[in-house]
Amino acid sequence: MATKRTIEVALSTSGLDAEGRPQRVPLVVDGGGSVTTLEAPPALEPELEGEHMLLNLGPQHPATHGVLRLVLELDGETVVRCIPHVGYLHCGFEKIGEYRQYNQIIPWTDREDYLNSPGNNVAFALGAERLFGIDITPRCTVLRVIAMELSRIISHLVWLGTTCIDIGAFTPFLWAFQERERVYNLLEGWVGARLTTSLTRVGGMAADIPDGWMDGLNSFVKTFPKTIAEVDKMVTRNGIWVGRTIGIGAMSADEAVNYGLSGSMVRAAGVAYDVRKDFPYLEYETYDFEVPVGSAGDVYDRFLVRMEELRQSVRILEQASKRLPDGPVNVDDARVILPPKSKATSEMESMIHHFKQVMEGPRPPAGESYVAVESPKGEKGYYMVSDGTSKPVRWRIRPPSYVNLSAIPKMVEGHLLSDVIAINASIDIVMGEIDR
């Protein structure tokens, strides 16, 4: 006999309860998975009683940054209740990862937070290397720092542009995207890909930087702050911008910590938590940069914090480009690194090695590893468990956007519909990462 269980479904269109909220309708789910409603289906024309309006903001809406769906209960234009719905972009990355070798998972990390592909690649490689017990070369360390900071700039530029659009200023969007194109040109020169870079490999990088690449980076680092300054002039002290952002979606430091927020969200609330400073990786402790911290945790503070992070990323890039050492990029570890192609086609041992590497993949010792990095959205973690085979038995992402998004009902309730858009933009979500 199929077991039946009753669950409450959040919202129905059938009517309002005593408090003026939409009624919760009990649904019965039987073992076969089919859902039957205990109630008569709602009439086509719902009765026009009650004051509140339900508004589906998304999944198809220009300002929900993908396929986020917010069910808003509006009193006039004031939000009484907000229920976020996620999952429209679920791809099962983590499950797919269980059937892929470690290097084969790297292209999947490109696609979850697709604005931060190089950063994800680096973070995953760090996790896998911890599992393998590999120490990467000094040149690789600096190159990875450059990759992470470039991807932070890309991601923050998209955030900046879309936030400006969401608050009505269209022009900074295109300025930001022009700068972003320059970063993508750099990445294209490095690995050939722009958006989905797959930049790293376990134990090294997919490629060393080509000759003259650092010149391109240096010219970007020189001219990019001018664009930030220009956007600053356009919006930072603009009366309308300030009026739209100050005091909107404020989170106190306690609330931000209790909700598990990270990244710019928690820093804007006044908590100076930055994984790069607190749990350094890639020798970040040796770089001279500051962690901007806000005070009120509102949309305006998040804006200021992220703008400052752009400048700090430029500082890190400057330092990294000065200290980039010569030497090999990949570790000298036959477990993970392929032999040179010339040897693989001429020497028997190298050919066997190459064949085993490609067909079976590198095998880490049994164990588990967790690596957290400061992604542009917040603390991003990769957790992987190995049973000694070439594929992880479990791979799990700690998505900062998802945790940050969970605070949206707290932030938007009581604000106007226009503020929902501003707050949502300030969280800086990427649905690929949230739904995975």
Partner 1 sequence: MTDVLPGVHALLLAADPQGPMNFWPWLVFTAIKMLVFFTIYMLGVAYLTLAERKISAWIQHRHGPNRVGWSGFMQPLADGVKNFMKEETMPPYVNKALFVLAPMLAFIPAMTVWAVIPWGAPWASPWGRVEMVLADLPIGFLFIIAIASLGVYGIVLAGWSSNNKYALLGGLRSSAQMVSYEISMGLSLIPILLFTGNVTLSSVVNSQASMHMWNVLTLSIAFLLYFISAFAETNRLPFDMPEAESELITGYHTEYSAMKFSLFFIAEYANMATQSAMLATLFFGGWDVPFTQADNTGAVSFPLVLLSMALMMAKTLFFLFVYIWVRWTLPRFRYDQLMSLGWKILLPTGLGYIIVVASLMLGLDAAGIERGFVYGLIFLGVNIVLVALFMVFLDRGKILSAAYGRASIGELQRLRDITTSRTRLSTTAGD
Q: How far is the CB of 245 from partner 1 (least distance, A)?
A: 9
Q: How far is the CB of 67 from partner 1 (least distance, A)?
A: 15
With tokens 């393998």, the residue in question is 132
Q: How far is the CB of 48 from partner 1 (least distance, A)?
A: 13
131 vs 169, which CB is nearer to partner 1? 169
Q: How far is the CB of 22 from partner 1 (least distance, A)?
A: 12
72 vs 338, which CB is nearer to partner 1? 72
**Binding site residues, partner 1, CB under 8 A:** 19-21, 51-53, 55, 61-63, 73, 75, 77-78, 80-81, 164-171, 174-175, 178, 232-244, 246-248, 296, 413-419, 421
Q: How far is the CB of 40 from partner 1 (least distance, A)?
A: 21
**For 259-407, where are the alpha helices, taking DSSP H only?**
264-268, 275-278, 299-323, 341-344, 348-359, 400-405
162 vs 401, which CB is nearer to partner 1? 162
Tell me phi and psi for residue 79, to 5 degrees: -80, 120
Q: How far is the CB of 246 from partner 1 (least distance, A)?
A: 4
Sign of the Cα torsion 294, 164, 222, 206 reads: positive
> Exposure pattern of 218-243 as b/e (b: 16+ CB <10 Å)?
eebbeebeebbeebeeebeeeeebee
User: Distance between CA 316 and CA 149 in Å, rounded?
Assistant: 7
If DSSP codes are grouped into helix, strand and coil, which group holds residue 9? strand
108 vs 175, which CB is nearer to partner 1? 175
228-234: Cβ within 8 A, 24+ apart: 228/307, 228/310, 228/311, 230/175, 231/160, 231/164, 231/172, 231/175, 231/176, 231/307, 232/307, 234/169, 234/171, 234/172
User: Distance between CA 179 and CA 183 in Å, rounded?
Assistant: 7
Q: Where are the beta strands (DSSP E) in 10-106?
A: 25-29, 35-37, 53-57, 69-75, 78-85
Q: How far is the CB of 420 from partner 1 (least distance, A)?
A: 8
Q: How far is the CB of 302 from partner 1 (least distance, A)?
A: 13
344 vs 423, which CB is nearer to partner 1? 423
80 vs 214, which CB is nearer to partner 1? 80
214 vs 416, which CB is nearer to partner 1? 416
30 vs 75, which CB is nearer to partner 1? 75
